[in-house]
Structure formats: C-alpha cells, structure tokens
Amino acid sequence: MELSHRIPLAERKDRTSANNPVWMDALRILLGLFLFIKGVTFLDKSTDVYYLLTQQQTLGHLSKASFFFSIFQMIGGLMIAFGALTRFAFLCQIPIMLGAIFIVNLRNGLSLHNMELWVSVVVLVLCVVFMIVGPGRFSVDNKIFRQPAKRS
C-alpha cells in the first residue's frame, strides 16, 4: 500500500509543478488571458500612458514605450496561458505590474474604490506565486521539459 498521499507535498521527493492542483493550471490560464486582454486594451489607451510616462521622465523617446508595454503584456499573457517559458513570461510581467501599481494606479489614491490598483496588486502577487510554483501539468513547459519517471 502506497502512503504517498499522506506525505505532505513539501516532503515528497517527486515534487514538480506537474503535481500542482488542476485549479492552479486553470488560474494560470485565466491570468494569462487576462494579461493578454489587458495588453490589447493598453493599446487603446497608449496616449494616456504616454502622458503619464512623460510626467515621470524627461526622455523624448517614450512615445514607443507604451506600445512595447502592451506588446510585452500580450505576448507574455499568451505564453502564460499556454505555459510556454512560463517563469520567464512572469518575470517579464513583474516590472510592468510594478509600473502599473506605482506610476499609474497610485495616482488615483490608496482607497478601496481604486479597483485598478487592487487588481494590479493581485496580479503582481499571482505572478510571484507562479514564478515560485511553476507552470503546472497542463503546460507546454511540462510537456517539453518533463523528465521521464524513474522506475525502481
């Protein structure tokens, strides 16, 4: 009789992101799709973002920055949804989310009514969590980089 189901996950030697619960895969996919959609809507508001960036910086070449932010967010969101180079995609999202929190969303104040701020904070926390736990079993990373199980 195998007792592995009674051993805490942290103590198992075969602990990989493929052992993550399925709900974490669903959350990663939804988060990736959310980031993709945010990147698409970011393109519509690129002039507003450019205005905010020029208030923070005196650099003249910021006109393309908002375009690159949205492209990074769209491509990164798709990579996260599919689970392809997931940790790298989350790593690229963290600076964007930090900028969204500290440069854009804090201008509206630290209140419960500033929902954009709280959504950005939750997304940042989820990015850090998924950087730690990995992509999960339903991901391209798991299918490509999974080591075959060793048989005793």
pLDDT at 81: 92
Q: What single letter denotes the amino acid at residue 107?
A: R
Q: Give the pLDDT confidence of 51-74 residue by residue, as tens digits.
A: 555 555 554 555 566 778 888 889
pLDDT value of residue 88: 93
Q: Over 90: is that where the pLDDT of 2 sits?
A: no
Please, which residues have CB within 8 angstroms of residue 84's CB and are 6 or more apart in sequence? 139, 140, 141
| Both structure tokens of 113 | 């009514």
* Domain residue limits, the chain: 21-139
pLDDT at 46 over 70: no
* Predicted model pTM: 0.72
Nearest one of 76, 82, 94 to 36, comparing CA atoms? 76
d(CA 20, CA 105): 32
Q: At 150, phi and psi to the nearest 5?
A: -85, 135
Model confidence over 3-39: pLDDT tens digits?
A: 555 555 555 555 566 677 888 889 999 999 999 998 8
Better pLDDT: 133 or 53? 133
Average pLDDT along the chain: 77
Minimum mean pLDDT among 16-25, 81-90, 94-103, 110-119: which range?
A: 16-25
* Residue whose tokens read 């959310």: 34
pLDDT of amino acid 147: 60
Residue 1, pLDDT score: 46
pLDDT at 142: 81
